[in-house]
């Protein structure tokens, strides 16, 4: 009798747990319910523990979910991967290296997920980079691509002196493949050494020809939120009342800076408490998702075809290429880009610059097929 | 003097129970820069006098200090071409064994001055685990074994948050609240976040000005105040509610070094250092004294046994009388310094940016420079003191300086 009772109890317990044991997908869904200001944290912390406890069973669904989730749940899942790897190591049950490698080489998996899988793989198999990186020079994961390029640079460096012709050929390929600005510029230095011509403007797809208009009045920062005429309609033949009541109009400007930096102090004169607009039109053959990558030492707003896509009100805290990444969708045909660049009134010597850079690229940072509409076209179409 | 020690003891208790040797936050217990440890090492080098040293994740950086609670050290770091990979690490205090390592992807901007990085704010820990704020405004809580308790993307919550010079103000604990300083160029606030699930208990608006100071707690007559300094200002809040209690405005307080409690006074570092005496009835605080000689760049002052110690940008260790600010002595050493000095057992430790630590015996009227110890590594973080050892971190290495066990 007692044995029957215990057996029944065991079956009941087993079936109950079996019936309610959550799948990785269910647990991931619970973590995906996290949101702003700590929403869902209490439930997510419980789901996180259960997910980690599932170990290998949850590994690949979790990896994939990282690359397809919003940033908040993605970070919950990112930490879960680390905990799973630690658990596997402590239990003496290594993660499945072969499956990880298959996951890494399958480019249909999300780029960020493949990168994490690669790191797990490398922790298990130190030879994996030698095997895999050579095929990753064009990888959609910029981190994998960066490592692949770095590995190739290490291999090619000795040729710079011993066989410069071959080195030049390889470095040209690496330059074309590279995406991270620091790596691109490091390769460019070697190209200089090898006397190979290149263009950072073209490589980064920086816009180096603009129409500029300014200064508009922005005493006491009032210009940042004030919509001046160009925000309603860009008319390159129009004149406006500028700062101090002076008439201003659009002027064409081309920067010769190798990273496409446009110096407004040089082109419009040095003004504090002022707004300037920069306009360019590009033609896209198709509808395409792109990234606008912006650098600005002053407060900046980005408009595409009249829509305000991005704004950042920060002044004189540094500037670099790719400082801000703005997701955008170009329509087929003509697309109008307008930047609003607001200079503040700080008097310190280090707070006098008024400059920006702008490029159009894909999610890896590579140039996308767009054509900058030239002065004549812009003038004609702007009228 | 007795009152000062009582204040220090109360400060230690505000954040909850800690072991005597713990160093749970930026500048240790109460943010005072003082440890109760004795028998600490006085001489070491890159190869001698180390209990252990461990390599940090390859290619990572960090200016945050190590913190110690119980038998473990918690540390933050960042890595990647953009500095957007965020790391939280836990090491065994006894032997430096890596206990766990968790990573996050930055959700905020990573642009900053090249001297700093995204792992600049120092974590804060208690017996339940660690709370880590990054300069990207990512905020995470793990238990002591690395189980994720909660996570906040503060930039996701408040999208205009931005400090592209690089944030460095550190969170602190008050009972079951994590106090998060977030003065920046965008939406600025000071928040009390519940430690259990990471939700706002209170949040007060602040001026949109970048600021690197870490708040401190001060308890007077059983009532605790939360003090937060910025340029030309320190404001006291009720840490339970965020209600403003009093404010001091005037010449002196800067946005980099953090304030220090000195008995019933508050030392506001800046140009010059100002010692204020808050009024008991919430009225405007009075200025007790000012000291131009004690003005510092990055380093926060330490108040110890009736004297105040500061390390100037020029590399001079300065000591003044706590009661009237009178200059007692100056000792020129070699700067520059980013880390704040720490004091334990009558010894002052000041590590410069090249990893050279000057050890001064400050028990007498005049200082005695008893050792100059070179780790030959860039050290920008204030060291931790625990378990008879000093714990330094560089970008590449975590050093535990002390006798082997």
Query: Per-residue pLDDT tens for A215-273?
Result: 999 999 999 999 999 999 999 999 999 999 999 999 999 999 999 999 999 999 999 99
Q: Cα distance from B155 to chain A (closest Cα, Å)?
A: 10
Residues A28, B332: Cα–Cα separation, whole Å:
58
Evaluate if residue B313 carries a pLDDT over 90: no
Which spans in B15-149 are helix H? none
Q: What is the pTM of this model?
A: 0.93
With 60 as the cut, is the pLDDT of residue A3 above it?
A: no
Question: What residues contact A233, with CB distance under 8 A and at least 6 apart?
Answer: none
ipTM of the complex: 0.93
Per-residue confidence (pLDDT) for residue A1, from 0 to 100 = 46
Q: Which residue has the higher pLDDT, A123 or A1?
A: A123
Residue B45 lies in a domain: yes
Q: Which CATH number covers residue B320?
A: 2.130.10.10
A204-382 has CATH 2.130.10.10 classification: no
- Find, among A220, A207, A313, A300, the residue nearest to A253 by Cα: A207
CA-closest candidate to residue B54, choices B401, B405, B396 = B396
Whether the link from the prior residue into B272 is cis, omega within 30° of 0, is yes
| Domain boundaries along the sequence of chain A | 2-126, 135-198, 204-382
A197 CA: distance to closest CA in chain B (Å): 26
Residue B183 lies in a domain: yes
**A263-317 pLDDT tens trace:** 999 999 999 999 999 999 999 999 999 999 999 999 999 999 999 999 999 999 9
Q: What angle do CA A357, A361, A363 make, to 5 degrees?
A: 125
Residue B402 lies in a domain: no
Q: How far is B51 from chain A (nearest CA, A)?
A: 25
Query: Is B193 in Cβ contact with A34 (below 8 Å)?
Result: no
Q: The sheet that has B316-321: what strands, in order across it?
A: B302-304, B307-311, B316-321, B327-332
Per-residue model confidence (pLDDT) at position B281: 72
Closest chain A residue to B152, measured at CA? A38
Within-domain flag for B404: no
B150 → closest Cβ in A45, A183, A318: A45
Q: Is B107 inside any structural domain?
A: yes
- Chosen for mutation from A27, A31, A32, A37 (greatest number of chain B CBs closer than 10 Å) is A37
Give strand pairing partners of B291: B273
Average pLDDT over residues B148-160: 98
Residue at B373 is within a domain: yes
Please answer yes or no on whether A72 and B148 come within 8 Å at the CB atom. Answer: no
pLDDT at B17: 44
DSSP string, B165-229: T------EEETTEEEEEE-SSSSEEEEEEETTT--EEEEEEE-S----PPPEEEEETTEEEEEEE
Rounded mean pLDDT of B54-68? 97
- Per CB-CB distance under 8 Å, the chain A contacts of B138 are 75
Q: What is the mean pLDDT of residues B89-117?
A: 97
* Residues spanned by the domain of B217: 2-394
A40 burial (CB, 10 Å; 0-12 / 13-18 / 19+) is buried
Q: Classify residue B399: in a domain, yes or no.
A: no
């Amino acid at each position: 009798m007692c044995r029957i009772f215990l057996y029944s109890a065991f079956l009941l317990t087993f079936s109950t747990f079996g019936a309610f044991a959550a799948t990785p997908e269910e647990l991931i869904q619970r973590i995906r319910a996290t949101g702003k200001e700590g929403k869902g944290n209490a439930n997510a912390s419980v789901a996180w523990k259960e997910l980690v406890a599932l170990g290998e069973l949850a590994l690949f669904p979790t990896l994939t979910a990282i690359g397809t989730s919003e940033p908040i749940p993605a970070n919950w899942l990112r930490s879960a991967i680390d905990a799973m790897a630690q658990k596997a190591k402590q239990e003496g049950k290594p993660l499945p290296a072969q499956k990880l490698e298959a996951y890494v080489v399958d480019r249909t998996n999300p780029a960020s997920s493949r990168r994490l899988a690669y790191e797990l793989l490398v922790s298990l198999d130190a030879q994996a980079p030698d095997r895999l990186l050579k095929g990753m020079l064009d990888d959609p994961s910029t981190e994998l691509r960066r490592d692949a390029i770095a590995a190739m640079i290490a291999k090619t460096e000795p040729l710079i002196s011993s066989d410069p012709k071959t080195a030049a050929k390889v470095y040209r390929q690496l330059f074309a493949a590279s995406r991270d600005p620091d790596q691109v510029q490091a390769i460019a230095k070697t190209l200089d050494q090898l006397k190979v011509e290149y263009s950072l403007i073209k490589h980064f797809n920086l816009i180096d020809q603009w129409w500029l208009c300014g200064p508009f009045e922005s005493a006491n920062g009032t210009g940042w939120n004030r919509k001046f005429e160009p925000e309603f309609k860009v008319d390159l033949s129009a004149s406006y009342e500028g700062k101090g009541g002076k008439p201003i109009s659009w002027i064409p400007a081309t920067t010769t800076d190798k990273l496409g930096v446009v110096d407004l102090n040089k082109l419009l004169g040095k003004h504090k408490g002022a707004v300037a607009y920069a306009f360019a039109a590009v033609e896209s053959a198709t509808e395409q998702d792109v990234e606008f990558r912006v650098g600005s030492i002053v407060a900046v707003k980005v408009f595409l075809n009249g829509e305000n896509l991005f704004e950042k009100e920060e002044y004189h805290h540094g500037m670099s290429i790719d400082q801000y990444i703005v997701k955008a969708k170009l329509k087929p045909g003509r697309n109008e880009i307008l930047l609003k660049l607001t200079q503040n009134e700080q008097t310190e010597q280090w707070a006098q610059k008024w400059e920006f850079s702008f490029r159009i690229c894909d999610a890896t940072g590579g140039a996308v097929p767009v054509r900058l509409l030239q002065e004549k076209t812009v003038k004609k179409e702007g009228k | 003097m007795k009152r000062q020690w009582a204040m220090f003891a109360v400060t230690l208790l505000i954040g909850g129970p800690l072991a005597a040797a713990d160093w749970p936050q930026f500048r240790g217990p109460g943010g005072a820069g003082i440890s109760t440890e004795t028998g600490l090492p006085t001489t070491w080098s890159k190869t001698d006098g180390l209990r252990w040293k461990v390599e940090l994740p390859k290619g990572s950086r960090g200016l945050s200090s190590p913190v110690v609670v119980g038998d473990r050290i918690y540390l933050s770091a960042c890595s990647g071409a953009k500095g957007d990979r965020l790391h939280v690490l836990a090491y065994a205090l006894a032997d430096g064994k890596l206990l766990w390592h968790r990573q996050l992807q930055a959700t905020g901007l990573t642009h900053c001055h090249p001297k700093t990085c995204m792992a600049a704010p120092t974590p804060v820990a208690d017996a339940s685990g660690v709370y880590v704020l990054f300069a990207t405004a990512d905020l995470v809580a793990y238990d002591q074994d690395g189980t994720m308790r909660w996570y906040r993307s503060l930039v996701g919550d408040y999208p205009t948050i931005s400090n592209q010079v690089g944030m460095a103000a550190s969170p602190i604990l008050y009972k079951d609240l994590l106090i998060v300083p977030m003065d920046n160029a965008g939406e600025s606030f000071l928040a009390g976040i519940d430690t259990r699930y990471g939700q706002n208990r209170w949040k007060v608006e602040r001026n949109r000005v970048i600021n690197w100071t870490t708040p401190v707690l001060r308890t007077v007559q059983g009532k605790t105040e939360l003090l937060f300094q910025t340029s030309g200002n320190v404001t006291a809040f009720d840490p339970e509610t965020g209600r403003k209690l009093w404010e001091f405005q005037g010449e002196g307080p800067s946005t980099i070094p953090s304030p220090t409690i000195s008995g019933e006074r508050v030392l506001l570092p800046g140009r010059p250092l100002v010692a204020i005496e808050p009024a008991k009835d919430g009225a405007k605080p009075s200025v007790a004294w000012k000291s131009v000689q004690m003005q510092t760049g990055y380093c926060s002052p330490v108040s110890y046994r009736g004297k105040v110690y500061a390390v100037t940008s020029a590399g001079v260790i300065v000591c003044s009388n706590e009661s009237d600010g009178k200059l007692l002595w100056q000792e020129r050493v070699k700067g520059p310094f980013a880390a704040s000095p720490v004091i334990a057992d009558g010894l002052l430790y000041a590590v410069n940016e090249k990893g050279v630590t000057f050890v001064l015996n400050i028990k007498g009227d005049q200082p005695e420079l008893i050792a100059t110890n070179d780790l030959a590594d860039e050290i920008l973080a204030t060291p931790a003191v625990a378990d008879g050892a000093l714990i330094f971190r560089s970008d590449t290495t975590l050093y535990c300086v002390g006798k082997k066990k």
